[in-house]
Amino acid sequence: MADGLLLDIDGVLVISWQAIDGALQAFETLRRADVPMRLVTNTTSRTREGITEALRSAGFPVQQDEVITVASAAAAYVTRSHPGARCLLLNSGDLTADLAGLTLVPSDTDPADVDMVLLGGAGPEFTYDALNHALACLLAGAELVALHRNLVWRTSAGLSLDTGAFVAGLEQAADIEAVVIGKPAPAMFAAGVSALGLSAERVAMVGDDLTSDVRGGMASGLIGVQVRTGKFREDQLHDAGPAPDVVLDSFADLPGWLGLA
């Protein structure tokens, strides 16, 4: 059993920012039981403030300091390792607030004047011209930093390509390796565990993405809890990778697993 929880958001609590069946009631049960929780997300379509507001609109009583975003983690990485770097950001949505302190250059900046290409969440902004310009910057010597490398994400219309597909293409084309900030990279899990003030082995990572959420968490010493919602596919449980520690039909079943319902 776990003493604290790290929760993915999209596909676990909500889909297209609408609460998944039973998720609100389960969240409220966990709140009443004072279970420590942090929400760790690779979501790049909204800032931490925007995510908090969206969750509250969906009915979840969350506080902004309970949300850990990949954009804020990326800003910390760039500030620490490449202070003053001129960053070309390609992202679907406005992350400016979570990237405070970084030098973001216009999309048409000469490739020679770009030190870093930041790839956020994929969307309509990932046009051929935009990706080709990013490639030119990489070939001119810029570093590639990906906020995450999720391959797909689920919307109300179904699965859509996400950043990971484009990261792989740029890595191959430029013959480089991206620095990845978000799950399954250890930094996000470490930040969540630290915020909870618990040891990793007493924290469960609850996610719909077997690779990024569950196996990533397990590799960092957490309990891996897979839910069968969001982008989950049953066939993934039978591949060659490690099995989740726990498989639940949905987040609604989490209080029962913890003995709270």
| d(C-alpha 160, C-alpha 31), whole Å | 33
Q: Which long-range contacts (CB under 8 A, 24 or more apart) does 226-229 make?
A: 227/11, 227/12, 227/251, 227/253, 229/11, 229/12, 229/15, 229/20
Q: Which domains does the chain have, with CATH numbers?
A: 4-42+183-257 (3.40.50.1000), 82-180 (3.40.50.1000)
User: Tens of pLDDT along 228-248?
Assistant: 999 999 998 999 899 999 999
pLDDT at position 157: 78
With contact defined as beta carbons under 8 Å apart, do 222 and 6 qualify? yes
Tell me which amino acid residue 125 is. E
> What is the length of the chain?
261
Q: Is the confidence at residue 128, as pLDDT, over 90?
A: yes
pLDDT at position 37: 98
| Band (109; pLDDT cuts 50, 70, 90) | very high
The pLDDT of 124-134, averaged and rounded, is: 96
User: Tens of pLDDT along 56-96?
Assistant: 999 999 999 999 999 988 888 898 899 999 999 999 989 99
| d(C-alpha 6, C-alpha 8), whole Å | 7
| Band (154; pLDDT cuts 50, 70, 90) | confident
pLDDT, mean over the chain: 94
